[in-house]
């Protein structure tokens, strides 16, 4: 038996296994772990040995010598590297579950609405072999909406847009079920790529992952600033032409220009969802507006840009980075009421 998984209480858990971040919610305790979905390996004689997981491993991304690999096992919301994902899940569960008992926990994990049966089975299998007694799956948009405090059990249409690292999921819910959902492979990662490509093209400069993250969270914006320039920041990278390190100033107008395409794709996904929604539910959404969740929802002025392009009222959820984990946790706490939202056996 997987002894580390043992605790005084059976400590059932909810896991948001995200492309960028993994969060673990323990029943009765709330969110107890929130770390980047990254695993660092040492490769020696062809054998992989885990060196670090989560926060510590993220610091190594882009800074590893040849013998060390830092891997993100999730891509576009699903497991891309099965073995590495399993290592990561095991590590996080072990970290949360320190005490000794004989009961294995029940674990609920959220999966993108568009995950295939094969992908779902892979996630369930990883959780079981990480030591769960029972593995349940919940659709991410439902978890996001619950976590954002939306009244999803009502017979009214609600729209939730979860903008994560790998994907943006747009969903219309009514009576605690999905009426419409669509996932596009556009999220924080795509925004990073767009910024990197922009700086390469316009400044002949190469920047690393930590710099791009800093740009997004410091002066990131989805809209052209009114003065045509906006706030500025200094960034460092490498000159592509001569390979020498250089420092430049970047402003919000440049960031908005770089992010035009991903922002546009998110706006279009919302419009397409609204058009595909049955008229009465669409009218509810016009009345009640749209809720944004996920880390991408924190991009500066994304709510304003979406409001302008779609004409809908847009809110950003409180604790948008935690919504999916909180919602999955609620599904665990109030299982009798939300039982049909959790799938234990497909």
Residues in the chain: 346
Which residue shows structure tokens 């929802």? 297
Q: Which DSSP letter does residue 317 get?
A: P
Instruction: Choose the one of Mg ion, ligand ATP, none that binds residue 298, judging by a C-beta under 5 to 8 angstroms depending on kind.
Output: ligand ATP
Q: Does 18 bind ligand ATP (CB under 6 A)?
A: yes
Among 165, 230, 262, 329, binds ligand ATP (CB under 6 A): 165
Distance between CA atoms of residues 152 and 293, nearest Å = 15
Question: Is 119 a binder of ligand ATP (CB under 6 A)?
Answer: no
Q: Which does 70 bind (CB under 5 to 8 A by kind): Mg ion, ligand ATP, none?
A: none
Tokens linked to 14 = 């909810």
Cα-based distances in Å from 39 to 69, 110, 128: 8, 20, 20
Choose between 199 and 299: whose C-beta lies nearer to ligand ATP. 299
If one asks whether residue 252 binds ligand ATP (CB under 6 A), the answer comes out as no
CB of 298 to Mg ion, least distance (A): 13
Judged by beta carbon, residue 179 or residue 298, the one nearer ligand ATP is 298
Between 19 and 211, whose beta carbon lies closer to ligand ATP? 19
Footprint of Mg ion on residues 6-45 (CB under 5 A)? Answer: 18
Query: Between residues 90 and 190, which has the closer beta carbon with respect to ligand ATP?
Result: 190
Q: Which of residues 124-183 bind Mg ion (CB under 5 A)?
A: 164
Distances 37 to 6, 31, 88, 192, 234 between C-alpha atoms, Å:
23, 16, 8, 16, 28
Nearer residue to ligand ATP within complex by CB, 165 or 329: 165
Question: What residue has token string 């669509």?
Answer: 182
CB of 307 to Mg ion, least distance (A): 23
Long-range CB pairs of 189-197 (<8 Å, 24+ gap) are 189/19, 189/20, 189/165, 190/262, 190/265, 191/216, 191/220, 191/259, 191/262, 191/296, 191/299, 192/216, 194/258, 194/259, 194/261, 194/262, 195/255, 195/258, 195/259, 197/258
> Is the CB of residue 324 less than 8 Å from the CB of residue 294?
yes
> Do residues 282 and 157 make contact, with C-beta atoms less than 8 angstroms apart?
yes
105 near ligand ATP, rule: CB under 6 A: no
Stretch that binds Mg ion, among 24-32, 51-59, 251-259, 317-325 (CB under 5 A): 317-325
The residue number whose beta carbon is nearest to Mg ion equals 164
Nearer to ligand ATP, 174 or 211 (CB): 211
Looking at the Cβ atoms of 156 and 211, the one nearer to ligand ATP is: 211
Strands 68-71 and 39-44: antiparallel
By CB under 6 A, the residues from 291 to 320 that bind ligand ATP are 294-296, 298-299
Report whether 189 contacts 183 (CB < 8 A): no
CB atoms closer than 10 angstroms to residue 139: 23
Residues 318-337, interacting with Mg ion (CB under 5 A)? 324
Scanning residues 209 to 228, which ones bind ligand ATP (CB under 6 A)? Answer: 213, 216-217, 220
Verify binding: residue 131, ligand ATP, rule CB under 6 A. Answer: no
Contact status, residue 96 vs residue 7, Cβ threshold 8 Å: no
- Residue 260 interacts with, from ligand ATP, Mg ion, none (CB under 5-8 Å by kind): none
- The answer to whether the CB of 33 falls within 8 A of the CB of 24 is yes
Residue nearest to ligand ATP (CB): 188
Q: What is the x/- site pattern for ligand ATP, positions 172-211, by CB under 6 A?
A: ---------------xxx----------------------
Of the candidates 161, 119, 340, which has an alpha carbon nearest to the alpha carbon of residue 268?
161
Binding site for ligand ATP (CB under 6 A): 18-21, 77, 164-167, 187-189, 213, 216-217, 220, 294-296, 298-299, 321
């Amino acid at each position: 038996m997987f002894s580390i998984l043992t605790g005084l209480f059976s400590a059932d858990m909810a896991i948001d296994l995200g492309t960028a971040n993994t969060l673990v919610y323990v029943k009765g305790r709330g969110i107890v772990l929130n770390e980047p979905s990254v695993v660092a390996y040492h490769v020696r004689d062809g054998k992989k040995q885990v060196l670090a997981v989560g926060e510590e491993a993220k610091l190594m991304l882009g800074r590893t010598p040849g013998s060390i690999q830092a891997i993100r096992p999730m891509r576009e919301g699903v497991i891309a590297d099965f073995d590495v994902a399993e290592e990561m899940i095991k590590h996080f569960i072990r970290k949360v579950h320190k005490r000794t008992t004989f009961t294995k926990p029940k674990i609920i994990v959220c999966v993108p609405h568009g995950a295939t049966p094969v992908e779902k089975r892979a996630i369930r299998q990883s959780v079981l072999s990480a030591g769960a007694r029972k593995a349940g799956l919940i659709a991410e948009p439902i978890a996001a909406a619950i976590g954002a405090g939306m009244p999803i059990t009502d017979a009214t249409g609600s729209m939730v847009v979860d903008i994560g690292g790998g994907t943006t999921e747009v969903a219309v819910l009514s009576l605690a079920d999905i009426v419409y959902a669509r996932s596009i492979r556009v999220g924080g990662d795509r925004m990073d790529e767009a910024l990197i490509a922009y700086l390469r093209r316009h400044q002949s400069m190469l920047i690393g992952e930590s710099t791009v993250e800093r740009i997004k969270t410091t002066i990131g914006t989805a809209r052209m600033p009114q003065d045509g320039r906006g706030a500025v920041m200094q960034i460092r990278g490498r000159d592509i032409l001569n390979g020498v390190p250089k420092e430049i100033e970047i402003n919000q107008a440049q960031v908005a220009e770089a992010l035009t395409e991903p922002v546009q794709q998110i706006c279009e996904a919302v419009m397409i969802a609204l058009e595909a929604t049955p008229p009465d539910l669409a009218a509810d959404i016009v009345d009640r507006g749209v809720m944004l969740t996920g880390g991408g929802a924190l991009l500066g002025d994304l709510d304003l840009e979406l409001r302008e392009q779609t004409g809908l009222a847009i809110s950003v959820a409180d604790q948008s980075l935690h919504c999916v984990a909180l919602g999955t946790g609620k599904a665990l706490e109030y299982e009798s009421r939300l039982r049909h939202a959790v799938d234990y056996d497909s």
